[in-house]
Amino acid sequence: MKTVTTRFGTFGVQDMVECYPYGALRAVIPAKGTVITTGHGAFIPRSEATDERTKTGASLEFYPDGALRSIILQNRTPIATPAGEVLAEQILFYPDGAVKRVFPLCGRTSAYWSQEDEAGLLMPFAVATPLCGVTAKFLSLAFDDRGRMRSFTLFPGQIVDMDTPAGPVPVRIGAAFHPDGALRSVEPGRPTPVPTPAGMVLAFDPDATGITGDVNSLEFDPSGRLKHVAMVRTKLTVRDQAGNEQEIMPAIRESLCGNSETEPVAMTMAVEAGRLVVRRSPKEPAITVVGAQSGDFPARAAILPPAGLFAAMQQSACHGAPVSF
């Protein structure tokens, strides 16, 4: 049997051995019974596929300097993290050995193994975030190189309630944190009223499909001030210096369901120094609303009832044409 020598000892490997262009070991499938000892404990990497959900390919990956980058475990194994002990199937590391991301499950979905099948293997468990304890089914937990929680990612369909600088928000997909532990962002799980410099808006992004909770549509700066929000069923009325008013509403597209109907696109608002930057859709130019020195903005928001958005569009002469104020 072929063997390789690493920082973690010499061990047998199977046929799959991948190297960097200059020869350093990049990825392998180790022989059965191989044990990798790290600063976080001893782990047995996956050496064989046991069922249809087991991923194929390398279970050990290394950085160019030989440090361990990733390990997929033969069986779920406890690992101590800054958020508490987690039963993990995959662990990612920083080059210095600190835990980067932990995956409670690491299965593949196919015609024979669904996302629901995968989620059924996991029971909700408690995680200590910088703000509060959260109990749910998690796809992954991420940490920075100093051991501080960077984000958590929920299994699809999971929603947890969290207190945010904008008030209580039901959260799906995940949440991210600033290095000091302050909340960086969350993805609202349902349309939720949120205060902004223009007034109350309905925060929600129906197109949010984040693979991780690292980046979300409702964002805050370290002091808790709103930085960005995606809005539905919300109309902005903007007034120029001459007193003229213009309504800005979400753009409309054909339904993604392919039924020839139309649906609104989430409109976004970024809060920057002295201005609001609004986008009716990702494909349209930004609309800049400049504020007064007092921090007031010549814009006011109104949340519309479910049928009110289309009615307001029919009555509006400009339909939110992109202009700057």
Per-residue pLDDT at 52:
77
Specify if 289 maps to a domain.
no
pTM here is 0.89
Per-residue pLDDT at 251:
85
Per-residue pLDDT at 110:
80
Specify if 247 maps to a domain.
no
Specify if 322 maps to a domain.
no
Specify if 97 maps to a domain.
yes
117: helix, strand or coil: helix
312: helix, strand or coil: helix
Please report, in tens digits, the pLDDT of each residue of the chain (325 residues total).
789 999 999 999 987 799 999 999 999 999 999 999 999 999 999 998 777 788 778 999 999 999 999 999 999 999 999 999 999 999 999 999 999 999 999 988 887 888 888 888 899 999 999 999 999 999 999 999 999 999 999 999 999 999 999 999 999 999 999 999 999 999 999 999 999 999 999 999 998 887 889 999 999 999 999 999 999 999 999 988 778 888 998 888 776 666 557 777 899 999 998 899 999 988 889 988 988 655 678 899 999 887 666 555 555 434 443 333 3
Residue 63 to residues 43, 79, 130, 172: CA-CA distances in angstroms? Answer: 18, 21, 29, 33
Specify if 206 maps to a domain.
no
In this structure, how many other beta carbons lie within 10 angstroms of the beta carbon of residue 137? 19
314: helix, strand or coil: helix
Rounded-to-integer distance, Cα 155 and Cα 159, Å:
9
Specify if 286 maps to a domain.
no
Domain range enclosing 64: 1-122
Rounded-to-integer distance, Cα 251 and Cα 267, Å:
7
Question: Which two tokens mark 49?
Answer: 């596929």
Specify if 92 maps to a domain.
yes
Q: What is the DSSP string of 75-110?
A: EEEEEEETTEEEEEEEEEE-TTS-EEEEES--B--B
Task: Please answer whether residues 80 and 68 qualify as being in contact, where contact means their C-beta atoms are separated by less than 8 angstroms.
Answer: no
Question: Which two tokens mark 78?
Answer: 């406890």
Q: Give the total number of structural domains in the chain.
A: 1
Per-residue pLDDT at 34:
95
Question: Which two tokens mark 93?
Answer: 């590391």
55: helix, strand or coil: coil
Rounded-to-integer distance, Cα 279 and Cα 282, Å:
7
Specify if 20 maps to a domain.
yes
